[in-house]
């Protein structure tokens, strides 16, 4: 089996025997791969017939991914497509490891359009499947690659389908109303995810929000594509608030469904049954029960054994708020229990010193439920009295804070609790994981009603005797950095300290600094830098920065393409002109993340020391 790990201090690629062995590094030391949480497409695919592994690599976090090939046993990376796409971004969205055919999004970093490329990795032949301002992403392909489903996405969840077939000069509309044909009318977002060809290629099976706001299975027949059909799912084991987030074909009519239930993962194996109406029957639960509960699946793969009868062997990685990710293997006959293959530990810290967190969900100002977690120091640490509070704000905004130790935030949250802080983590409106309507509430309203949700959550915590709300700080990254700056500058009396990690500061200027391919999305989802300039300035932290009274730390990656370094440098310069002390930390070898272990140690330590200095413990 092949997997990602940061054993060596950077995220890299390893292999090990499925029966257990010492993990073998496959890349030269020091070469860091991209964080899969942030990456478009996939990090790697193993190509057994070529004896190669396709690995997507960038340069120090600049997100200009390039396809790299290494021997399956590991070795020196070689360029998969030569220098033809140098300084461009190629995202591998799908790869057929039997036929060695891959599909890439191509962003040349100069023009706003994105192109879909089909690449034969055996011959190096490249076919363009067209380009679009809104993605033209491959989101489905049949087994012989004669038919491809392409998707345009205008804002999060607003997806229109096109189909392309061999011999076509250009794609043709399959389902949905293109933006240019809407004439100002509101169109409900479809929420369409990866499309699986089923029923002898007569139709598609995919997850969508067409029938259910929290996602459901949908069948779309090619004979009547304007009439999608709901697919009833039988045999689900979970309960709670969340959504169906993905479906993937294993073989034939056997599929895996993925659910996110209030931040935790549930995986099901099941069978699609064609008919009128079509249905889906769950055959077993792969994640969500027993030792694989209350956490997050980071990766899932399988191996199909065809003889004498078809069996499937699943391998997955799974993590919790207080547990690093571990590898698990299901036996191929489907009858045995799952086996844990790894025992990754946090050296020097007993497990019962870490915080599992507790539910802190609340009803916000307009009656909506906001899911939230509160992480308190373990009683084993011996802290007494009310704890100073740190609010952590996730990025996105259409993201979600989950009990995921592999993500940047959870080790930081745990480090803060070890140092005596309580950490509040709300998933306010705009977060993913709670249905389409909830997620879309933040469109064109950054710094609007989302702010009210944060204030309401903090108001609820003021009633908690375990929390000292007079000693309060806020930290966030990306959109969370934007929200940190917003809260600290618009409500200065609430905070003793704030840490902004690469957050947008001046929304119109930030939009002009991003790659051209981002502009169509920003105009629709955030605001047009010219037509909506007044609204964007009204919501920009820069407008209110003169009100800031709390100490501020700014953290930035030098090679960040999403929130370029000049955005953070401008905040520091503006504050220093006013004579305000600001701590400004730039990582020269990072992008829109802090990925390398040595940098994370510095980052976590600096943030914690900053809060200890200004809040105490």
- Residue 456 pLDDT: 98
- Residue 213 pLDDT: 97
For 165, the 3-state DSSP assignment is strand
Give the closest residue to 280 by CA, choosing from 270, 289, 267, 288: 270
Q: How many CB atoms lie within 10 A of CB 19?
A: 8
Rounded Cα distance between 493 and 43, Å, is 44
Judged against a pLDDT cut of 80, whether residue 334 lies above it is answered with: no
Kindly state the percentage of the chain with pLDDT values over 70: 100
Summarize pLDDT for 295-310 with one digit per residue, the tens. Answer: 999 999 999 988 778 8
Q: Residue 491 in contact with residue 483, Cβ under 8 Å?
A: no
The band of 21, judged by pLDDT with boundaries at 50, 70 and 90, is confident
- Residue 412 pLDDT: 97
- Residue 469 pLDDT: 97
Give the closest residue to 216 by CA, choosing from 195, 191, 238: 191
Judged against a pLDDT cut of 90, whether residue 497 lies above it is answered with: yes
Rounded Cα distance between 191 and 55, Å, is 29
The band of 7, judged by pLDDT with boundaries at 50, 70 and 90, is confident
- Residue 29 pLDDT: 87
Judged against a pLDDT cut of 80, whether residue 335 lies above it is answered with: no
Rounded mean pLDDT, 553-563: 96
Rounded mean pLDDT, 274-287: 95
Q: Give the pTM.
A: 0.95
- Residue 76 pLDDT: 95
Summarize pLDDT for 64-110 with one digit per residue, the tens. Answer: 999 999 999 999 999 999 999 999 999 999 999 999 999 999 999 99
Rounded Cα distance between 500 and 107, Å, is 28
- Residue 308 pLDDT: 79
Domain boundaries, the chain: 351-615
Mean of pLDDT over the chain:
95
- Residue 32 pLDDT: 86
Q: Which long-range contacts (CB under 8 A, 24 or more apart) does 85-89 make?
A: 88/64, 89/40, 89/63, 89/64, 89/65, 89/515
- Residue 142 pLDDT: 97
Summarize pLDDT for 510-554 with one digit per residue, the tens. Answer: 998 999 999 999 999 999 999 999 999 999 999 999 999 999 999
- How would you label 49-66 residue by residue, b for 16+ Cβ within 10 Å and e otherwise? eeebbbbbbbeebbbbbb
- Residue 23 pLDDT: 93
Kindly state the percentage of the chain with pLDDT values over 90: 91
β-strand 358-359 against 369-375: which pairing, if any?
Answer: antiparallel
Strand positions, DSSP E, 409-496: 422-427, 467-477
Summarize pLDDT for 229-240 with one digit per residue, the tens. Answer: 999 999 999 999
- Residue 98 pLDDT: 95
- Residue 453 pLDDT: 98
Judged against a pLDDT cut of 80, whether residue 50 lies above it is answered with: yes
The band of 8, judged by pLDDT with boundaries at 50, 70 and 90, is confident
- Residue 577 pLDDT: 92
- Residue 579 pLDDT: 85
Fold of domain 351-615: Rossmann fold (3.40.50)
Summarize pLDDT for 370-423 with one digit per residue, the tens. Answer: 999 999 999 999 999 999 999 999 999 999 999 999 999 999 999 999 999 999
Rounded Cα distance between 304 and 128, Å, is 31
Summarize pLDDT for 168-190 with one digit per residue, the tens. Answer: 989 999 999 999 999 989 999 99
Rounded mean pLDDT, 459-486: 97
């Amino acid at each position: 089996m092949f997997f990602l790990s940061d054993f060596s201090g950077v995220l890299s690629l390893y292999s090990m025997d499925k029966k257990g062995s010492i993990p073998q590094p496959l890349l030269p030391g020091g070469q860091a791969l991209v964080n899969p949480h942030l990456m478009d497409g996939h990090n790697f695919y193993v190509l057994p017939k070529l004896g190669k592994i396709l690995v997507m690599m960038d340069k120090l976090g600049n997100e200009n991914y390039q396809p790299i090939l290494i021997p399956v046993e590991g070795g020196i990376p070689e360029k998969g497509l030569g220098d033809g796409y140098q300084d461009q971004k190629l995202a591998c969205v799908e790869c057929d490891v039997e036929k060695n055919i891959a599909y890439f999004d191509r962003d040349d970093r100069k023009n706003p359009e994105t192109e879909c490329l089909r690449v034969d990795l055996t011959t190096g032949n490249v076919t363009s499947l067209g380009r679009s301002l809104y993605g033209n992403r491959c989101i489905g392909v049949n087994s012989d690659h004669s038919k491809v489903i392409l998707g345009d996405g205008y804002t999060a969840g607003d997806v229109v389908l096109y189909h392309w077939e061999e011999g076509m000069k250009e794609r043709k509309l399959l389902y949905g109303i293109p933006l240019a044909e809407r004439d100002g009318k509101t169109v409900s977002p479809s929420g369409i995810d990866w499309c699986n060809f089923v029923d002898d290629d007569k139709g598609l099976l995919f997850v969508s929000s067409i029938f259910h706001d929290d996602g459901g299975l949908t069948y779309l027949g090619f004979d009547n594509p304007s009439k999608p059909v709901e697919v009833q799912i039988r045999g689900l084991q979970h309960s709670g608030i969340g959504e169906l987030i993905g479906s993937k074909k294993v073989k034939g009519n056997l599929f895996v469904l993925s659910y996110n239930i209030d931040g935790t993962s549930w995986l099901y194996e099941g069978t699609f049954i064609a008919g009128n109406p079509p249905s889906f029957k769950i055959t077993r639960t792969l994640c969500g029960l027993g030792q694989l509960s209350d956490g997050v699946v980071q990766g899932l793969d399988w191996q199909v054994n065809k003889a004498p009868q078809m069996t499937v062997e699943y391998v997955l990685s799974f993590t919790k708020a207080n547990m690093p990710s571990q590898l698990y293997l299901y036996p191929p006959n489907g009858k045995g229990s799952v086996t844990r293959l790894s025992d990754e530990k946090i050296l020097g810290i007993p497990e019962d010193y870490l915080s599992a967190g507790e539910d802190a969900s609340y009803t916000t100002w307009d009656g909506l439920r906001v899911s939230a977690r509160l992480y308190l120091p373990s009683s084993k640490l011996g802290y007494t009295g009310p704890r100073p509070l740190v609010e952590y704000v996730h990025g996105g905004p259409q993201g979600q804070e989950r009990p995921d130790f592999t993500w940047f935030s959870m080790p930081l949250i745990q480090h803060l609790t070890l140092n005596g802080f309580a950490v509040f983590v709300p998933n306010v409106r705009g977060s993913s994981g709670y249905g389409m309507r909830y997620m879309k509430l933040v469109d064109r309203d950054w710094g609007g009603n989302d702010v009210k949700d944060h204030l309401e959550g903090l108001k609820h915590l003021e009633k908690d005797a375990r929390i000292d709300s007079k000693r309060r700080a806020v930290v966030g990254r990306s959109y969370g950095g934007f929200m940190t700056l917003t809260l600290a500058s618009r409500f200065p009396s609430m905070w003793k300290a704030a840490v902004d990690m690469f957050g947008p500061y001046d929304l119109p200027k930030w939009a002009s600094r991003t790659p051209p391919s981002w502009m169509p999305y920003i105009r629709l989802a955030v605001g047009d830098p010219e037509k909506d300039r007044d609204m964007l300035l009204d919501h920009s932290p820069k407008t209110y920065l003169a009100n800031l009274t709390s100490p501020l730390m700014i953290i930035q990656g030098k090679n960040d393409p999403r929130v370029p370094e000049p955005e953070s440098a401008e905040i520091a310069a503006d504050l220093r002109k006013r004579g305000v002390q600001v701590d400004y930390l730039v990582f020269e070898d990072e992008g829109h993340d802090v990925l390398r272990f040595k940098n994370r140690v510095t980052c976590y330590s600096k943030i914690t020391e900053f809060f200890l200095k200004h809040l105490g413990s």
